Amino acid sequence: MPLSSVLGSYKGLGVPLFGESRILQDSTKDIITLEHSSANAGRFVTFRDSLSSGNSVGGVSTKATSDLSWFNADGEFVGSVVAKQTQVAITGATTLTALTTANAYRLNVISTQAASSVFITLPSSGSCEVGMWIEILHNSTAGGVLHFMTTGSNAGGEIHAHIDSSATILSTGAVSNVSTGPMWWKFMCVSTVGPIWALSNLMSQVTNSTVAGLQTIAAATTA
């Protein structure tokens, strides 16, 4: 039986249990309001993959294996680690590994090691947007083998990064890791013309230096 309209349901209708639905706003008031009981506990909304068995009803405070993301009891959005992380398997020097918009706004873990130069392209000017960011995490066993580049070549596209403690700014079409060890980089799109990317080394600095203790950044060649 439909809920009474005096309870605030949309035109006296309840929320459908099956199929897609659309609620069309007819005023400036909130379309849907979710309110806790007096206990003020439990998630507001949970987004979950289909379950093959078991109870599909939420109500737990910890993450289930099928939960992708949710709005917690404080109304905060919590994204799943799995949903925000992408494994990137790099290919050989003869084939480009392309990062696309599917790699944007998430941590990209390079899951394979490279003994020789490999080339990884950033999203092109036609697909990126100002403010788009891409994080890279890798524990490299060889220096100078990862070449991140603007799509195709260095013509038109630029990557800007600080490369030493004297605030020297590198401007090039490709950058590479000079040293071995952990690297945690973040590329941020500054302009879609080119495009232009800013690169930040997110590893902890030592004695205010942009070199000591960091994965050193250097200009690289393009494929």
CB atoms within 10 A of CB 191: 14
Q: Residue range 9-34: average pLDDT? A: 75
Q: What domain count does the chain have?
A: 2
The domain boundary residue, chosen from 56, 79, 102? 79
Residue with tokens 């603007």: 150
The region of weakest confidence among 8-12, 112-116, 187-191 is 8-12
Query: Is the same domain home to 164 and 203?
Result: yes
* Statement: residue 86 has pLDDT above 80: no
Query: Is the same domain home to 135 and 157?
Result: yes
Query: Is the same domain home to 106 and 201?
Result: yes
- State pLDDT tens for residues 161-186: 877 655 667 888 888 888 888 888 99
pLDDT of residue 30: 82
pLDDT of residue 191: 92
The domain boundary residue, chosen from 31, 56, 79? 79
- State pLDDT tens for residues 24-48: 888 888 877 888 888 888 888 887 7
pLDDT of residue 190: 93
pLDDT of residue 175: 86
State the burial class of residue 56 (Cβ atoms within 10 Å of its Cβ: 0-12, 13-18, 19+): exposed
Query: Is the same domain home to 189 and 92?
Result: yes
Query: Is the same domain home to 11 and 57?
Result: yes
Query: Is the same domain home to 167 and 59?
Result: no
Q: Is the four-CA dihedral 185, 188, 191, 195 of positive or negative sign?
A: positive
Query: Is the same domain home to 91 and 181?
Result: yes
- What's the CA gap between 111 and 91, in Å, rounded? 11
Query: Is the same domain home to 110 and 186?
Result: yes
Query: Is the same domain home to 70 and 165?
Result: no
Residue with tokens 């490999």: 118
- What's the CA gap between 100 and 124, in Å, rounded? 8
8 A C-beta contact, residue 122 and residue 148: yes
- State pLDDT tens for residues 137-155: 888 888 888 888 887 544 5
pLDDT of residue 133: 92
| Range(s) of the domain holding residue 4 | 1-79
pLDDT of residue 70: 74
pLDDT of residue 11: 60
* Statement: residue 97 has pLDDT above 80: yes
pLDDT level of residue 131 (50, 70, 90 thresholds) = very high
pLDDT level of residue 187 (50, 70, 90 thresholds) = very high
Give the pair of three-digit tokens for residue 90. 């790099």
The percentage of residues in the chain with a pLDDT greater than 70, rounded to a whole number, is 69
CB atoms within 10 A of CB 2: 10
Query: Is the same domain home to 175 and 207?
Result: yes
pLDDT of residue 5: 45
- State pLDDT tens for residues 192-221: 988 999 998 877 655 555 555 556 777 887
CA distances from 4 to 11, 27, 33, 178, 212 (A): 9, 19, 16, 67, 67
Query: Is the same domain home to 122 and 36?
Result: no
CATH number at residue 171: 2.60.120.640
The percentage of residues in the chain with a pLDDT greater than 90, rounded to a whole number, is 8
The domain boundary residue, chosen from 63, 79, 95? 79
Query: Is the same domain home to 71 and 88?
Result: no
DSSP per position, 112-165: S--SS-EEEEPPPTTT--TT-EEEEEEEESSTT-EEEESSSSSSS-EEEEE-ST
